[in-house]
Structure 1
Amino acid sequence: MSLPVSGTAALVLAVLFGFAFGWLLHRGRVASFDTIVNQFRFKDFTVLKVMLTAILVGGIGVLALIDGGMAKYHIKDANILAVALGGGIFGIGMVLYGYCPGTAIAAMGSGSIHAAVGFVGMILGGILYALSYPWLRDNVISVAKWGKMRLPELTGLSDLTLFGILAAVAILAFVAIERSRRTA
């Protein structure tokens, strides 16, 4: 099933949702260099709380769309080595830069020069990845390739059970964070 919006209307909606998303990033303080860096210093858990909430709400929304026949999964191969290396590079970059790609764009929208400089670095990194892709495909991506799989197939647990576990972990994390803030 396709969405009932296409063409110019879809572009206008995409721009409006983009601005709304950027505004929400700013309101949630996750487009702030200090907030992101302090997450990694274990001094400000705003990013963790926002991300866990977004994963839960977004995941349940996607599950509802799939169950309603309005969307379908597009599962990529589980290339364990490539994902581990890519995640490590992304994490190191986020710690050094103080932004992820989405928050960098939001910070640029508010005039951050260092976010713009880092964004140029992201573009250059993307070009470097594209140029080195043949070597990466043969020497990294093909290593520890598990094929197309999802957590339900890997664990034997249903989507709803996994979301229930994640929700419980999120609630426990939120409670622990709030308790530690009160005692600090």
Structure 2
Amino acid sequence: MELILGLLIGTAFGFILRRSRVASNACIRGALALTDFHMLKLLLTAVGVTLILVFPLSALGIVNFSVKPTYVVGIVVGGLLFGVGMAVAGFCPGTMLAALPGGDRRFWWAVAGGLAGSLAYALVYEPLEPLLIRPLNLGRLTLPDLLGLNPVVAGVGVGIVILVGVILLDRTTARNKPAIPDLARTGVD
């Protein structure tokens, strides 16, 4: 049942990525260059809504969290490698799969890069564990624990803050966006 639910949620998320045009290379590169906030707003909206829904469901025992340890050095190094790979490929894992139905041939290069990165990680994990995992390993940190708050209050509260931030970002970027002429009315192709 979990696999079917995951497939349904993933399919719905992929559909949303395709419909919102976030699966395009231009959108991702614009997000990385901080010139296009369309993808950021969509993903932050998804995170905010998820927090608001998942924390109460967790309190009811419907959803279970698996909190991973926070090892700062490994997360920073991995994030930088992931970001560079994402910038070079023009895809992140979700948008890469969402681009498949569109026939973008760069999809296969991104898949090959992701598989090569996974293989490299598997091969170098043990030798690099003392350098990347053990230093600054802060254990299983959660925001509710850090703030001393009830998990539902913390999750829903952070979700609301994120959604308010998205609304403010949307208003700010809409105000600063240059006017695009209506090409249909001007007769320009």
Tell me the TM-score normalized by structure 1.
0.85
Long gaps (5+) in structure 2: 181-189
* Pair 1:45-2:37 in alignment: yes
Given candidates 62, 72, 75, the residue that maps to 1:83 is 75
Runs of 4+ deviating beyond 6 Å: none
What is residue 74 of structure 1 aligned with on the other side? 66
RMSD: 2.1
Tell me if structure 2 keeps the 8 A contact 1:104–1:116. no
What is residue 177 of structure 2 aligned with on the other side? 181
Deviation at 1:183, TM superposition (A): 7.0
Q: Distance in 2 between matches of 1:150 and 1:144?
A: 16
Tell me if structure 2 keeps the 8 A contact 1:82–1:140. yes
Q: Distance in 2 between matches of 1:55 and 1:14?
A: 16
Given candidates 145, 152, 155, the residue that maps to 2:137 is 145
Q: Distance in 1 between matches of 2:29 and 2:98?
A: 16
Classify 1:104/1:66 alpha carbon distance in 2 versus 1 (closer, same or farther; 3 Å): same
Q: Distance in 2 between matches of 1:162 and 1:22?
A: 25
Tell me the TM-score normalized by structure 2.
0.83
Deviation at 1:47, TM superposition (A): 0.3
Q: Which stretch has the larger CA shift, 118-127 or 130-139?
A: 130-139
Long gaps (5+) in structure 1: none
Q: Distance in 2 between matches of 1:67 and 1:182?
A: 45
State the number of aligned residues: 176
Tell me if structure 1 keeps the 8 A contact 2:25–2:90. yes
* Pair 1:55-2:47 in alignment: yes
Tell me if structure 1 keeps the 8 A contact 2:49–2:159. no
Q: Percent identity?
A: 32
The residue identity in structure 2 corresponding to 1:70 is: I
Classify 1:42/1:183 alpha carbon distance in 2 versus 1 (closer, same or farther; 3 Å): farther
Q: Which stretch has the larger CA shift, 62-71 or 127-136?
A: 62-71
> Which structure 2 residues correspond to residues 1-184 of structure 1 after superposition, within 5 A?
5=1, 11=4, 14-156=6-148, 158-159=153-154, 160-181=156-177
